[in-house]
Chain A
């Protein structure tokens, strides 16, 4: 049997990871998102310069109040604080942006049908898009953490990781703990990634996919505040999103992180499966 395609065409070589990575790299939204990851620690750092050391309870206590007070105690704590304030909403938006935009933007530009007519096999197109979106999300998270670490260390010095839940952790181990925090945040964001990616496949409107994913995450967060829901809250995708605090205690409390990981992987697998199932069958009309 002779090859049925054109000379030099191999389905497995279409839309390589590198090709898609470069397609996304040229986009303004990619650059803005990554740039903001560098900018945010700078903004936070500048904001802390206004700290007059006045009244003690201006941060209102709150569940993370102590971490805010500790943010300026060293580079590690500054990084922790930066991650903490980003984890709730901003990282979710960035991840939703990378994933929700992946397929929907091609559909809205009309370039999706040309990719499919290359032809890039549909499952391959989706897999490469997903891999690149995950890579950019990971890059964003790492950029944020590394920038915060460098800036914080330059400004506040290299000191142990402190928290009020447990003893301070020496800097070397503190870096490992922070890496663990970044890793767990990444796992938690898989839910957002999965949902946004699914919506991206279902709709041709990139903003709809991004906004939809963010909205559902906010809804989950709201429901999680309602303690009347009891054990049902364990099913909410964001219920275990704060479990990384367990990494700050000695010994590490990993149980909630394990549950959070299970939850996140289940949701992400479900969303991605539906996305693949749908995309490999749907009529592309855009």
Chain B
């Protein structure tokens, strides 16, 4: 039982030939190798260590402060092989861990990178002085000293390390302030940071003084709360810390308190913010500066970077500006933008700090959102480059006319409810805010253009002229620019709005002087058919607005100025895939051509020789052997020949190897050894000479949905031979299906299908007809008819090969017979020779004893044995049967019948009789 099972299993599985072993193990090694490669631990190329450094700074320069630092050193850096260094500062509310990934990238690029947690945050000591010159900036100077003492850091001069400063937001401002204060800094990359912290928190788009700016309360609150927590455990304020100010220094805290309480700044508070602003010290910056600013940034909009760029460039210092689709609202932006910013940063540092690589151009690059990514739903941007930084006024401007007269709008009491434009601190979530942006009824006025006749690529700060009237003479207004699509959907680009505080207003807008309002810079394509909508609102959740209710009148002048940015599109790095695709297609085309050429060459080399002696012999089978992949030998050795005019019977029990032989003969199966020649042509699968053979192998095969006639026509169409050669009528007559030929073959009986298959084999009257069990399923009259057809078929030079397990069929139909058993030939020759009368007969008589006595009296006649039914088997040895019968009758024995015995039957039964079972399907 178990053995049978294992045997079956062994047969079910593919047999392991050496080739399969090789292929299998190669595949295994390949998979193992790939897996190993995929999971291998990456060698980062650097090491880092943490250290609490105590530096002395503060106004006196002697106040100790402990800074949490992490220092990355590239592998191989040493006193003998020095590397340039970088100071990498973190953003507000973060600590050195928040820039760890960026530090790793820079360290992997060959820089010694020092990151630290700014004072007032995380584990570093003291309080937040908001990038104060006397505190945070001095701390950074001490860190420069520390770097200068490192043996592996390259030095410009003793105590002057080769160093760049990189940072975002809070860290970006630090890099600007540090570069202004310390000439040892060789290059800086400030990102998404401010120019004037006062203007960032107290903006006035009409150009008013900072002290009168409109308080950006939502961002200020977010800013303050993240600083107050100081990076410690949320909600837990150490006992010694003032709960109102958290880790903010007293003067910073006081400034915030003042502004946040009243919604208005005072000069003292503005002075505190001024101290933290690079605006006043830009003229001292000599370090080449790469300014990266985000398009989605309601905290530090593009105008901040613009002011920094102009201030620094005025010194003759190299400045480069890049905008990307991210920022305090938009996060890191899409991968393509991150890659571009990383590449720009590295190129800048490599040249100005490491001294490698060509001088980067000072061209301006920016990106424009073109839609959503189809795969991961992220933003997709296209990047553009412009040789000269155009600022916020664009390369050119377009004027759009908006309509709408003087409109009254109400300021809600207490500034609530207020319109929603952005969600400060929500990060990348803000980008999904679009649908939530809302203006409140009665609180806003709308001025809208006609549909644009051509798309506008807006890039920069749009400007509008605003007239306003107020009963109090003052008004705080919020001006916004919407892109309105033809369906009416309005989009506020990145939630950016322009707050203005107007004073000295007349009671009515009709009498007011127009004021120029510069909206926040945006980058947006406004498509053809879209409208521009300017909205003037009285309140916004992001800003503090007056608490007193009032009704203003406003009017926007018709002319709206839109800056336009063009530039050359930067090929996306993904563009390389187009070349890959082109290469792939070319490779496939070449590969296909090579395969075709090789196939043709091989085809030409195929042995097409005709063995002259066999050119007229329909079929010669020599030494045929077929061994299946599982080791089963279906045919061990078969040789026979079919000549013209012969009807040869391939006789054998089921499973003798007849069908396998015919399969090889039809080119369906490759022989293991031996060869077959048809009319002298060596047979290979698909040999053209097969077209001279008609076949029925292993039963009929028809398209079940076609009628018999359609099947024959479909078959002939597949041969591609002329219709006239098919002889349909003759074939159909042989099939003898009558009207049934117009019925679908799936409705046919077995016999009908068999007859149709024979007709198909005879289409075109092939010179050699091969029929596998042709009488299978036929009734006796049809068998007799088939016999006559086959005999007639072989008359004019054609030949027929019939396989059968029925002795009588072969005997009656064939001129020649080949008897196979267990894959070998056991007898062959003319049927007459092997079948012909044998000298023995079986005689059934009523009295065997008397009969035997009578037989003894006949010369040359010998009793051999008793048959199973009691009859006598007698060797006549030339004595005519009539003499035998006469003798028996004369002796008074009643003769029931005399049956001639045949040699073939004897041979067949003797050879195959005892093992017709269990030989398997061959």
Contact = CB atoms under 8 A, between A and B. Distances in A.
Interface of A: 1, 3-11, 13-16, 19-20, 22-23, 26-28, 63, 109-123, 160, 162, 165-168, 239-240, 242-246, 248-251, 253-256, 258-259, 261-262, 265-266, 269, 281, 283-285
Given A5-B689, A114-B695, A116-B667, A168 B486 contact: yes
B703 interface: yes
Q: Counting chain A CB atoms within 10 Å of each CB, which of B380, B577, B686, B692 scores highest?
A: B686
Given A266-B584, A285-B669, A248 B371 contact: yes
15 contacts: A5-B689, A9-B691, A27-B703, A109-B704, A110-B701, A119-B667, A166-B371, A240-B375, A250-B370, A253-B370, A255-B574, A259-B574, A261-B581, A265-B585, A283-B628
A239 B375 contact: yes
Contact of B688 (A3, A27, A160): A3
Given A8-B721, A113-B698, A119-B686, A165 B372 contact: yes
Contacts of B528: 167
B578 interface: yes
Contacts of B710: 26
Interface string B676-717: 000101000111111111010111111111100010001101
Contact of A118 (B382, B575, B719): B719
A26 B702 CA distance: 13
Nearest to A18: B717
Interface string B710-731: 1000110111111001000000
A6 B581 contact: no
Given A1-B608, A5-B692, A110-B701, A251 B585 contact: no
Contacts of A249: 370-372, 380
A133 to B, nearest CB: 16
Given A6-B766, A115-B718, 15 more contacts: A4-B688, A10-B720, A13-B720, A19-B714, A109-B704, A111-B703, A114-B715, A119-B687, A120-B686, A122-B686, A123-B599, A168-B486, A251-B382, A253-B371, A258-B581
A9 B725 CA distance: 10
Given A28-B705, A118-B718, A284-B668, A5 B688 contact: yes
B595 to A, nearest CB: 9
A283 B373 CA distance: 48
Contacts of B375: 239-240, 242-243, 256
Nearest to B665: A117
A7 B725 contact: yes
A16 B720 contact: yes
A3 B666 CA distance: 19
A167 B370 CA distance: 10
Given A114-B701, A115-B718, A4 B687 contact: yes
Nearest to B609: A1
A208 to B, nearest CB: 17
Interface string B586-619: 0010000000000100000000101000000000
A168 B578 contact: no
B760 interface: yes
Interface string B474-488: 000000000001110
Contacts of A269: 588
Nearest to A224: B375
A215 B827 CA distance: 53
Contacts of A115: 718
A285 B698 CA distance: 9
B532 to A, nearest CB: 14
Contacts of B718: 14-15, 19-20, 23, 115, 118, 120
B719 A14 contact: yes
B580 A8 contact: no
Given A16-B720, A118-B718, A250-B370, A27 B705 contact: yes
Contacts of B687: 4, 119
B668 A283 contact: yes
B666 A117 contact: yes
Could you tell me the dominant secondary structure of chain A's interface residues? loop
Given A9-B720, A117-B666, A255-B572, A23 B577 contact: no
A113 B691 contact: no
B374 A19 contact: no
B629 to A, nearest CB: 8
A22 B717 contact: yes
A204 B574 CA distance: 43
Nearest to A20: B718
Contacts of B373: 246, 253, 256
A123 B592 CA distance: 13
B138 to A, nearest CB: 44
Contacts of B685: 116, 119, 122
A39 to B, nearest CB: 21
B530 interface: yes
Nearest to A109: B701
A26 B703 contact: yes
Contact of A26 (B380, B599, B706): B706
Interface string B350-394: 000000000000000000001111110100101000000000000
Contacts of A112: 701
A114 B760 contact: yes
Given A9-B721, A121-B686, A259-B577, A113 B701 contact: yes
Given A6-B766, A249-B380, A11 B703 contact: no
A120 B46 CA distance: 65
B374 A246 contact: yes
Q: Counting chain B CB atoms within 10 Å of each CB, which of A119, A250, A258, A266 scores highest?
A: A119
A9 B692 CA distance: 9
Nearest to B700: A110
A167 B667 CA distance: 62
Q: Counting chain B CB atoms within 10 Å of each CB, which of A244, A245, A255, A256 scores highest?
A: A255
Contact of A109 (B584, B679, B703): B703
B529 interface: yes
B567 to A, nearest CB: 14
Contact of B670 (A4, A15, A168, A283): A283
Contacts of A262: 577, 580-581, 584
A60 B624 CA distance: 69
B764 interface: yes
Q: Counting chain A CB atoms within 10 Å of each CB, which of B530, B578, B628 scores highest?
A: B578
A13 B725 CA distance: 15
B666 A116 contact: yes
B575 A26 contact: no
Contacts of A266: 584
Nearest to B714: A23
Ordered nearest first, which 4 A-B pairs have the shortest CB separation?
Answer: A110-B701, A249-B371, A13-B720, A245-B374
Given A6-B764, A19-B718, A262-B577, A285 B374 contact: no
A38 to B, nearest CB: 21
Contact of A253 (B380, B666, B704): B380
A265 B584 contact: yes
Contacts of B681: 4
A258 B578 contact: yes
A255 B577 contact: yes
A119 B703 contact: no
B527 interface: yes
A167 B584 contact: no
Contacts of B700: 110
A22 B693 CA distance: 25
A239 B691 CA distance: 47
B105 interface: no
A117 B608 contact: no
A255 B374 CA distance: 10
A251 B457 CA distance: 12
A255 B370 CA distance: 13
Contact of A6 (B374, B702, B721): B721
Given A8-B722, A111-B703, A114-B695, A251 B370 contact: yes
B663 interface: yes
Given A4-B610, A7-B725, A63 B703 contact: no
A119 B688 CA distance: 7
